[in-house]
């Protein structure tokens, strides 16, 4: 299959999931179209995440463009320059703790940035006034026509917090509870509004917690692995019984690709691991995996576990029902959690240079100012 008619704008492609997605397309899908990685390179964006891809494909199938999704002029220029016919929108402020400490940037990037991208797509793809001319929304690829697509990456956190029972469905009413999830919810609403109002060909996915290579070390799994290696405390919030549903990042990427190529315009798809873990159980298991790799006693790192003050408004449990994408698009998870954790720990052990670069910059100052006070 050739995709050489696809000119995809990937926003936030230098971040954790965005960079995994770009790698997935080149390495697993044999993508032969054009990918434009548009990224502001905030503290979370890192071109090292794609060094190998850039060496192989830069100037041919891969282009990096530095810029801000809130910058209307710059975003418009990118659509023009590359004749963009698909958008996969990852760029966001993504960390809940940071949204509690400083919500403004979340509203700017996640809400204003998404709005700016939607407007650029509407301007470039559609007749500006009123509803779209449907003919303008298709382009031909090997005798079959495909609509233009704006795929918005969102989170299960928009649905709020679950008790012991139940799941998040695509029909679950929104109930975001942190500035992060509220800003993502607002962006989801805007994306849907552009579909209903302007016929912009959108799809949305709401995914559970990802883990895997290139995960920024402010997030639970990499934070714990790297703190173990530094023999630093392993801070567990509250009673440690909050539950998250973990998915290996490459499985998220394969789901996004499925939706982009086979999903129905206007639809929302939940993506999840069907893999719920209490934080404390997960941290204990990670301690054992790292101990095994480091030739230590099984319980060696567990003594570092420290219960700290809870995250304000900490959502208790997330659990995704992803029957829709499984049944309608034939997607399924492929990486078993135990194997995924092993792969992740190995990746951090084998990529010390990446770890040192990430840990030594702006992030180091932020940890000292915020996290080390806990
Ligand atoms: P990340 O923080 O690792 O990466 C975000 C990227 O966006 C960075 O490269 C950053 O430089 C870029 N960026 C930030 N502001 C920008 C701006 N104004 N203009 C251009 N680029 C900008 O995030 P992630 O964990 O990879 O998450 C990616 C997306 O997936 C987000 O939309 C997030 O809400 C969503 N999501 C994440 C998870 C998860 O578990 N990490 C789960 C579900 C959904
Ligand atoms: O559910 C999807 C969401 O998952 C994404 O939308 C977010 O972008 C992503 O950051 C993630 O949000 P969480 O808040 O669930 O992830 P985090 O890794 O920050 O925390 C996971 C759990 O671990 C959560 O219950 C809080 C807890 N935690 C986290 C940290 C950083 C701790 O107990 N200690 C910690 O030091």
pLDDT (tens digit, 9 = 90+) per residue, 322-346?
999 999 999 999 999 999 999 999 9
Domain count, the chain: 1
Residue 298 forms part of a structural domain: no
Residue 344 forms part of a structural domain: no
What spacing in Å lies between the alpha carbon of 160 and ligand 2's midpoint?
A: 14
Over residues 247-271, the pLDDT tens digits come to: 999 999 999 999 999 999 999 999 9
Tell me how far CA of residue 355 lies from CA of 198, 263, 361, in angstroms: 44, 36, 11
Q: Nearest ligand, CA of residue 99? A: 2
pLDDT at 318 > cutoff 60: yes
Share of the chain above pLDDT 70, in %: 94
CA nearest neighbour of 220 among 277, 166, 272: 277
Q: Is the CB of 14 under 6 A from ligand 1?
A: yes
User: What is the pTM assigned to this prediction?
Assistant: 0.96
134-138, 162-166, 170-174, 214-218: range with lowest mean pLDDT: 134-138
What spacing in Å lies between the alpha carbon of 326 and ligand 1's midpoint?
A: 25
Which pLDDT does position 369 carry in this prediction? 78
pLDDT at 141 > cutoff 80: no
Q: Is the CB of 160 under 6 A from ligand 1?
A: no
* CA R_g for the chain: 20
List the domain range (segments joined by +) for residue 19: 7-215+246-277+317-338
Q: Give 135's pLDDT tier (boundaries 50, 70, 90).
A: low
CA 270/CA 154 separation, integer angstroms: 9
pLDDT at 130 > cutoff 50: no
What spacing in Å lies between the alpha carbon of 300 and ligand 1's midpoint?
A: 34
Residue 364 forms part of a structural domain: no
Catalytic annotation, residues: 156-157, 180
Residue 121 forms part of a structural domain: yes
Q: Give 137's pLDDT tier (boundaries 50, 70, 90).
A: low
| Neighbour-count burial for 241-251, b at 16+ CB within 10 Å, e otherwise | ebbbbbbbbbb
Which pLDDT does position 129 carry in this prediction? 45
| Neighbour-count burial for 89-102, b at 16+ CB within 10 Å, e otherwise | bbbbbbbbebbbee
What spacing in Å lies between the alpha carbon of 114 and ligand 2's midpoint?
A: 22
Over residues 171-203, the pLDDT tens digits come to: 999 999 999 999 999 999 999 999 999 999 999
Over residues 274-285, the pLDDT tens digits come to: 999 999 999 999
Residue 312 forms part of a structural domain: no
Which pLDDT does position 142 carry in this prediction? 47
Q: Measuring from atom 19 of ligand 2, which residue has the nearest CA? A: 219
Residue pair 254/331 in contact (Cβ under 8 Å)? The answer is yes
Q: Nearest ligand, CA of residue 374? A: 2
Per-residue 3-state assignment (H helix, E strand, C coil) for 198-213: HCCCEEEEEECEEECC
Ligand 1 pocket mutation, candidates 14, 15, 184, 205, criterion most atoms within 8 A of CB: 15
Q: Is the CB of 213 under 6 A from ligand 1?
A: no
pLDDT at 361 > cutoff 90: no
Q: Measuring from atom 25 of ligand 2, which residue has the nearest CA? A: 242
CA 110/CA 187 separation, integer angstroms: 6
Share of the chain above pLDDT 90, in %: 89
Residue 222 forms part of a structural domain: no
Q: Which CATH number belongs to the domain containing residue 36 in this structure?
A: 3.40.50.720
Residue 333 forms part of a structural domain: yes
Residue 64 forms part of a structural domain: yes
CA 90/CA 42 separation, integer angstroms: 13
């Amino acid at each position: 299959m050739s995709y050489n008619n696809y000119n995809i704008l990937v926003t936030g492609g230098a971040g954790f999931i965005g960079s995994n997605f770009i790698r997935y397309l080149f390495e697993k899908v044999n993508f032969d179209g054009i990918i434009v990685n548009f990224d502001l390179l905030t503290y979370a964006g890192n071109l090292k995440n794609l060094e190998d891809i850039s060496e192989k494909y830069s100037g041919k199938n891969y282009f990096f463009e530095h810029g801000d999704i809130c910058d209307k002029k710059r975003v418009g220029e990118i659509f023009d320059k590359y004749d963009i016919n698909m958008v996969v929108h990852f760029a966001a402020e993504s960390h809940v703790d940071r949204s509690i400490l400083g919500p403004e940037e979340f509203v700017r990037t996640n809400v204003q940035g998404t709005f700016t991208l939607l407007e650029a797509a509407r301007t470039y793809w559609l007749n500006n006034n009123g509803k779209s001319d449907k003919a303008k929304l298709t382009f031909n690829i090997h005798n079959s026509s495909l609509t233009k697509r704006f795929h918005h990456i969102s989170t299960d956190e928009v649905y709020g917090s679950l008790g012991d029972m139940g799941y998040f469905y695509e029909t679950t009413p929104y109930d975001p509870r942190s500035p992060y999830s509220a800003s993502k919810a607002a962006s989801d609403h805007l994306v849907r509004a552009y579909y209903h109002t302007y016929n912009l060909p959108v799809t949305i996915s709401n995914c559970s917690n990802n883990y895997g290579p290139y995960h920024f070390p402010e997030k639970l799994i990499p934070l714990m692995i790297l703190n173990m290696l530094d023999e630093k405390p392993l801070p567990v919030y509250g009673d440690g019984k909050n539950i998250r549903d973990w998915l290996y990042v490459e499985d998220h990427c394969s789901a996004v690709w499925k939706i982009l190529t086979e999903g129905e315009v206007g639809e929302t798809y939940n993506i999840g691991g069907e893999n719920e873990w209490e934080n404390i159980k997960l941290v204990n298991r990670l301690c054992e995996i790292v101990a095994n790799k480091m030739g230590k006693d099984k319980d060696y790192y567990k003594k570092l576990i420290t219960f700290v003050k809870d995250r304000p408004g900490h959502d208790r449990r997330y659990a995704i029902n992803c029957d829709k994408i499984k049944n309608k698009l034939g997607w399924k998870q492929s990486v078993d959690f135990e194997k995924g954790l092993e792969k992740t720990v190995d990746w951090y052990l084998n990529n010390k240079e990446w770890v040192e670069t990430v840990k030594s910059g702006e992030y180091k100052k932020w940890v000292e100012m915020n996290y080390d006070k806990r």
